[in-house]
Amino acid sequence: MIEALSIWVAAGLTLAIMSFLYGDNPVYKFAEHLYVGYSAGYWLIYTWHFTIKLMVIQPIAEKQPGAVWLVIPLFFGALMLTRWFPRIAWISRWSIAFTVGIGAGLTLTGAVHGYIIPQVKATILPLWTGNGLTSFNNFVIVVGVITTLIYFFFSKPHTGVLGKTSKVGILFIMVAFGASFGYTVMARISLLIGRLDFLWSSILKLVQFF
Amino acid sequence: MLKKQIPLAITFITGVIIVVTFFIPHPPFGRLQQDALTWYSVIFGFTMLLGVDSLVKFHYTKLRRREKGWWFSIVFYCGFLLSFITGVISEVRFGDAFNINSSFMYFYNTILIPLQSTMFALLAFFIASASYRAFRARNIDATFLLVTAVIVMLGRVPVGYMLWHKLPDLTSWILNVLQLGPMRGIMIGISLGTVAMSLRLILGIERTYLS
């Protein structure tokens, strides 16, 4: 019985969201508000369990090494809550500044170490490998990277050789965007097929139930 | 001073410490980058509290003033209380609200999963209608975009194989070779921009986050 009820609810909510295709209507608005409300409660429980309980309470209760340093984020987190009191709300800027500092520091090292160096390293490819197809592929990749970077180089006017190279770059970029677009469309279509399949199998299950 | 200079100093000191510790892989500095990620999550937890509080207050005001569509706020509260109460009960009963047998996870699978996946699936229709309006082979650039998108879409479904048996291979080649170069170029560009922005933030040149 509970299974049949959950199928009814899930199928009903799926149809309620899909009703938006007809236009904005009360059934869609009902599902939308339920979605937002449920998500808010879900993320609150998620944050409590995975952040506060596992990252703060547990290390402190078990006296794990370095747990004393958790005072720092707790302090700045508490300062963030000063937003509730308009007269001292400006103190929350300290917490924002702290997170911005951490974010900037991590991004700076992460971008160089995790993206720029590996991507440049992976682009330094042999243009002749002995195999015609591999060599051609390597050539296409190297030309694609260089011309794309030249297209985004705005410090000089795109005239002459720079202009022609950037024209090739924009063609490569268009191909990449087209491929990404096609890939995204197919991913959404597969999600849609998944939902339609769910609706169809729900009907079959309910028919079997009754 | 308290409102401007101290936040700038906090950003500078934390940013520099995080960068410097990257180059000193020894205790106590070695772990600091990892710890910083935990600190980030903890502070994010507090901001989540602020966000949910703001949302709850917004719907409370809408209800109190009987604004247009006020009864949808009751639906919001029902959803919120359902997930929150089942979450608390499951946390007490199982010690973990995310236990597969908990009522919290039951409602998660019955309510949130269908709503979320249908919301994303709905985008298929909007992408299709937007592309119908936007996709015009007006010039050579747009033609490249259009042709590539069509090849990739057809190459990933059985009908593409039926049309031309090499179409899936061509799609794989486009995704793995032709797309790789420009995507890598874009990634390098974005990363360089990120580095520049991080430096601006640490050095206090970029201050918009304080306004």
**Domain-located, residue A78:** no
**Domain-located, residue B178:** yes
Domain stop point among A45, A64, A83: A64
Spell out, as residue ranges, where chain B has pLDDT lower than 70.
none
**Domain-located, residue B43:** no
Answer yes or no: do B49 and A44 touch at CB < 8 A.
Answer: yes
CA distances from A133 to A128, B184, B193 (A): 10, 20, 34
Total domains, chain A: 2
> Can you give the pLDDT at residue A5?
84
Name every residue whose Cβ is closer than 8 Å to that of residue B47 and which is 6 or more positions away in sequence. Answer: A80
- Residues of chain B neighbouring A14 (CB-CB closer than 8 A): 114-115, 118
Total domains, chain B: 1
- Residues of chain A neighbouring B132 (CB-CB closer than 8 A): none
> Can you give the pLDDT at residue B18?
92
Q: What is the pLDDT of residues A134-174, one digit of tens each?
A: 999 999 999 999 999 999 988 889 889 999 999 999 999 99
Answer yes or no: do A29 and B106 touch at CB < 8 A.
Answer: no
Q: Do A130 and A53 fall within a single domain? A: no
**Domain-located, residue A206:** yes
What does pLDDT average to over chain A? 90
Q: What is the pLDDT of residues A40-92, one digit of tens each?
A: 999 999 999 999 999 999 999 998 888 888 999 999 999 999 999 999 999 99
**Domain-located, residue A112:** no
Q: Is cis: bond before B28, omega within 30 of 0?
A: yes
ipTM for the complex? 0.83
B100 vs A156: CA distance, rounded Å: 59
Q: What percent of chain A has pLDDT over 70?
A: 99
Q: Is the pLDDT of residue A209 over 70?
A: no
A27 vs B210: CA distance, rounded Å: 41
**Domain-located, residue B2:** no
Residue of B nearest to A189 (CA): B124
What are the b/e assignments for A120-155, b being 16+ CB within 10 Å?
Answer: eeebeeeeeeeeeeeeebbbbbbbbbbbbbbbbeee
Domain residues for the domain of B159 are: 135-188
**Residue A186 pLDDT level (bands cut at 50, 70, 90):** confident
Mean pLDDT along residues A102-124: 93
Domain residues for the domain of A130 are: 125-210
**Domain-located, residue B139:** yes
> Can you give the pLDDT at residue B26?
81
**Domain-located, residue B150:** yes
B151 touches chain A (CB under 8 A): yes
B131 vs B123: CA distance, rounded Å: 12
Query: DSSP code of B52?
Result: H
**Domain-located, residue A166:** yes
B177 vs A172: CA distance, rounded Å: 11
**Domain-located, residue A119:** no
**Domain-located, residue B46:** no
**Residue A210 pLDDT level (bands cut at 50, 70, 90):** low
Answer yes or no: do A44 and B52 touch at CB < 8 A.
Answer: yes
CB pairs under 8 A between A and B: 396
**Domain-located, residue B31:** no
